[in-house]
Amino acid sequence: MAANERKGIVLSIAGSDPSGGAGIQADLKTMAVLGVYGAAAVTCLTVQNTSEVAALVPVAPELVREQIRLVLADLPVTHVKIGMIGTAAVARAVGAALDGFAGEVVYDPVLRATAGADLMEPAALAAVRAEVISRATVLTPNLAELHALTSASGDRPGELRAAGRQLLADFPRLRAVAIKGGHGPVHHGSVTDYLVRRSPDPASPSCLEATHPWVDTRNSHGTGCTFASAFAAFHLLTGSDDEAFTRAAAFVHRLLAASAGSRLGGGTGPLLHHLLREER
Ligand code: PLP
- Condensed to tens digits (0 to 9), the pLDDT of residues 49-102 reads 999 999 999 999 999 999 999 999 999 999 999 999 999 999 999 999 999 999
In percent, how much of the chain has pLDDT > 90? 88
* Count of residues making up the chain: 280
Q: Which amino acid is at 28?
A: L
The class (CATH top level) of 7-274 is: alpha beta
Compute CA 215 distance to the chain's CA centroid, rounded to the nearest angstrom.
20
Judge residue 40's burial from the number of C-beta atoms within 10 Å of its C-beta, 0-12 exposed, 13-18 middle, 19 or more buried: buried
Over residues 19-38, the pLDDT tens digits come to: 999 999 999 999 999 999 99
Q: What's the confidence (pLDDT) of residue 17?
A: 97
Q: What confidence score (pLDDT) does residue 114 get?
A: 74
Res 264 pLDDT > 70: yes
Return phi, psi of residue 140, to 5°: -125, 65
What is the per-residue pLDDT for 2? 67
Q: Ligand 1 pocket, 113 CB below 6 A? A: yes
Whole-angstrom CA distances from 21 to 48, 128, 139, 199 are 10, 24, 21, 36
Distance 25 CA to ligand 1 centre (A): 10
The torsion defined by the Cα of 218, 252, 8 and 169, in degrees rounded to 10, comes to -100
| The predicted structure's pLDDT at residue 278 | 62
Radius of gyration of the chain (CA): 17
Per-residue pLDDT band at 113 (split at 50, 70, 90): confident
Element (H, E) at 98: helix 88-98
Q: Can you give the pLDDT at residue 280?
A: 57
Average pLDDT over residues 122-147: 96
Determine the distance separating the centroid of ligand 1 and the alpha carbon of 22, expressed in angstroms.
5
Averaged confidence pLDDT in the chain: 94
Q: Where are the domains of the chain?
A: 7-274
The finding on whether 27 has its CB within 6 A of some atom of ligand 1 is no
Residues 6+ apart with CB under 8 A from 251: 34, 226, 230, 234, 276
Cα of 77 from ligand 1 centre, angstroms: 23
Quick one: which atom of ligand 1 is closest to the CA of 226? 14
Number of H helices, E strands in the chain: 9, 9
Most distant CA atoms of the chain, gap in Å: 49
Predicted confidence at residue 242, as pLDDT, reads 96
Angle at 84 between CA 80 and CA 85, to 5 degrees: 90
Q: Regarding predicted confidence, which is higher, 183 or 168?
A: 168
| Cα dihedral value 128, 236, 223, 52, nearest 10 | -60
Higher pLDDT, 235 or 186: 235
Is the CB of 15 within 6 Å of ligand 1? Answer: yes
- How far apart CA 86 and CA 44 sit, in angstroms, is 7
Looking at residue 215, what is its pLDDT? 94
186 — pLDDT class (breaks 50, 70, 90): confident
14 CA distance to ligand 1 middle (Å): 9
Contact assessment for residue 30 and residue 273, using Cβ atoms and an 8 Å cutoff: yes
